[in-house]
């Protein structure tokens, strides 16, 4: 792919501390158009507003999906992309569900590498910080009939970030959402569609008003089976095993989830991918069988859950502290990301 590059003449001020998450954006962005049945016009431009018509399908029918991935400054100073092929494949497969053309894996990966290489100075050097990468696919055809668009834009932007949660790696408090739902069987739960996140906002705000960082989502039919925690996959460690909900069509196939499963299998930790009820979790907490709860996702990597609460019940596994397995998994995956341990899985791509 021959990418036309227009470098900025007005570099943005790079923050050096208190990055937060998604507050700052690097100097450039990558864009690729889809029209006439093919991808065309790959280019890198200075970061700025997108020109989009008011009738674009993304604005009316939510033809929008995205990926979340990271680049790290390794111990040797080189930039390391973490599992770009996983994100490329997930976006391509998810696009089918939204009737959007998938970006070929090689184009996706080449776009990400070119943009990160150009904006390499924006990759933080501080341990715990990284360059968050947001590839996005939207429908751009201006047409108000209800059908898939015939024109699309694939773009990539990047943002230097710190920890996703204000608590950092400290345990977070999670409120159980027992009324609203995130996804229903046959819907979009397994796709990183923008609509999934829009429908989660009110429950998240309500939880924060109660003093909780995020919500635990239950199934849409019976409101008793656990699905995700906030925007993360979730794991429960009991005395004799670890349990995580299965990928049944309503849960996103998370990249970090996949890493955790690989590592647990290597460590020979008993693991079950099966349906788990909220009642089973609370009973485990009451009996002492439940030892740890943690979420997994690109933004936060591993997040310890110190408290899980409803209006009438609370669970505080490990007295609300970071669990031993949670800490060990976080240390293992981040050490690989930053080049402090050998990558024996083929997860890292240096650029």
Of the pLDDT bands very low, low, confident and very high (cuts 50, 70, 90), residue 306 is very high
In a domain, 346, yes or no: no
Are residue 153 and residue 182 in the same domain, yes or no?
Answer: no
In a domain, 347, yes or no: no
Residue finishing a domain among 162, 185, 213: 162
User: Is there a domain that residue 136 lies in?
Assistant: yes
Q: What whole-number percentage of the chain has pLDDT above 90?
A: 96
Verify that 133 and 230 share a domain, yes or no.
no
Which residues are CB-contacts of 272 (< 8 A; sequence separation ≥ 6)?
241, 242, 243, 244
Instruction: Please indicate, yes or no, if residue 342 is contained in any of the structural domains.
Output: no
Same domain, 135 and 192: no
CATH of residue 244's domain is: 3.20.10.10
| Whether residue 202 sits in one domain with residue 138 | no
pLDDT over 70 percentage in the chain: 99
Total domain count for the chain?
Answer: 2
Q: Is 351 within a domain?
A: no
Same domain, 137 and 249: no
Say if residue 42 is in the same domain as residue 107. Answer: yes
- The reply to whether 136 and 15 lie within a common domain is yes
Q: How far apart are CA 211 and CA 117, in angstroms?
A: 40
Residue 350, domain member (yes or no): no
**Interatomic CA distance for residues 340 and 332, integer angstroms:** 9
Give the residue among 18, 6, 348, 14 at the shortest CA–CA distance from 162.
18
Half-sphere exposure of 325 (CA within 13 A, CB side): 28
User: What is the average per-residue pLDDT within 129-154?
Assistant: 97
The pTM of the full predicted model, rounded to 2 decimals, is: 0.96
User: In terms of domains, do 156 and 246 share one?
Assistant: no
| CA proximity to 157, closest of 253, 29, 258, 256 | 29
At 163 the pLDDT is 80
Query: Do 288 and 213 fall within a single domain?
Result: yes
Q: What is the CATH number of the domain that holds 31?
A: 3.30.470.10
Distance CA 276, CA 258 (A): 18
Question: Do 209 and 99 have their domain in common?
Answer: no
Q: Which residues pair with 216 in a beta bridge?
A: 176, 229
pLDDT at 165: 76
**Per-residue pLDDT, 26:** 98
Same domain for 97 and 236, yes or no, is no
Pairwise pLDDT comparison (21 vs 164), residue with the higher score = 21
259 occurs within a structural domain? yes
For residue 199, give its domain range.
172-337
Q: Is residue 153 part of a domain?
A: yes
Looking at the structure, do residues 178 and 303 belong to the same domain, yes or no?
yes
């Amino acid at each position: 792919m021959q990418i036309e590059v227009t470098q900025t003449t007005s570099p943005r001020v790079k923050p050096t501390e208190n990055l937060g998450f998604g507050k700052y954006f690097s100097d450039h962005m990558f864009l690729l158009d889809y029209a006439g049945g093919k991808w065309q016009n790959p280019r890198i431009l200075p970061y700025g507003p997108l020109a989009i018509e008011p009738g674009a399908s993304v604005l009316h029918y939510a033809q929008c999906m995205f990926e979340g991935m990271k680049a790290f400054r390794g111990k040797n100073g080189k930039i390391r992309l973490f599992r770009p092929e996983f994100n490329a494949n997930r976006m391509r497969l998810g696009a089918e569900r939204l009737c959007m053309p998938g970006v070929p894996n090689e184009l996706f990966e080449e776009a990400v590498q070119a943009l990160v290489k150009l904006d390499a100075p924006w990759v933080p050097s501080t341990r715990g910080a990284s360059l968050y990468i947001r590839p996005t696919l939207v429908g751009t055809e201006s047409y108000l009939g209800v059908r898939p668009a015939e024109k699309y834009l694939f773009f990539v932007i990047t943002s230097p970030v710190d920890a996703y949660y204000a608590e950092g790696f400290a345990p977070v408090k999670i409120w159980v959402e027992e009324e609203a739902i995130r996804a229903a069987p046959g819907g979009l739960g397994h796709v990183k569609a923008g609509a999934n996140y829009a429908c989660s906002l009110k429950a998240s705000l309500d939880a924060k008003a109660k003093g909780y960082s995020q919500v635990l989502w239950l199934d849409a039919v019976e409101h008793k089976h656990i699905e995700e925690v906030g925007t993360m996959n979730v794991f429960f460690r009991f005395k004799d095993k670890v349990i995580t909900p299965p990928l049944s069509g309503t849960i996103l196939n998370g990249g970090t989830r996949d890493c955790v499963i690989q590592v647990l299998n290597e460590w020979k930790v008993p693991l079950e991918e099966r349906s788990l009820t909220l009642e089973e979790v609370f009973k485990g907490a009451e009996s002492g069988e439940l030892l740890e709860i943690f979420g997994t996702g690109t933004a936060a990597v591993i997040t310890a859950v110190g408290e899980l609460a409803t209006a009438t019940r609370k669970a505080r596994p490990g007295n609300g502290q970071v669990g031993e397995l949670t800490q060990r998994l976080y240390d293992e995956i981040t050490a690989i990301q930053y080049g402090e341990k050998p990558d024996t899985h083929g997860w890292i791509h240096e650029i």
